[in-house]
Amino acid sequence: MGALSFGACGTMGHEQTWTMNTTEMIPSAIGKVKVKGEKDGNTRVKVEVSHLAPPAAVFDQTSTYVVWLKPEAGTAQNVGVLAINKDLKGSLETQTAFKDFQVLVTAEMDPNVTSPSGRSVMNTSVVVPT
């Protein structure tokens, strides 16, 4: 479970940050998930990573990192590719209706996969106060 960064309040308009857990495959990687309630009732989710090695350097035969949102009672949804630049940093921003969910980053062979491969590199759990 990720660590909640205090100083953020649960009301709309206040951003909260969760620290992502990393696997032994990438001990130097750092990941954060920032969430913020929007006026339309959705939640803005921004995943930011640094010191994340290219996918092929972590798992053989992989070419991309995919970000997944998995609701408490449901299946994981592919929300996009987490592109890593030459400085080993990357980010992805999306919106969701979920308020209680896990954020997963997996190494995949194809960016269009429909379920996580099990090659997880980072994860955290997010609960957005309502």
The structural domain count of the chain equals 1
Q: Does residue 48 fall inside a structural domain?
A: yes
Per-residue HEC secondary structure of 75-107 comes to CCEEEEECCCCCCCCEEEEEEECCCEEEEEEEE
Domain-embedded: residue 72? yes
pTM of the model: 0.87
| Sheet strands (E) in the chain | 16-19, 21-22, 30-37, 43-50, 64-71, 77-81, 90-96, 100-108, 120-127
pLDDT tens digits, one per residue of 15-45: 999 999 998 889 899 999 999 989 999 999 9
- Specify whether the CB–CB gap between 89 and 36 falls below 8 A: no
Domain limits at 24? 16-127
Span 64-122, pLDDT tens digits: 999 999 998 899 999 999 999 999 999 999 999 999 999 999 999 999 999 999 899 99
Query: Residue 95 CB: number of other CB atoms within 10 A?
Result: 13
Given a contact cutoff of 8 angstroms between Cβ atoms, the answer to whether 18 and 5 are in contact is: yes
Read off the CATH number of the domain in which 79 is found: 2.60.40.200
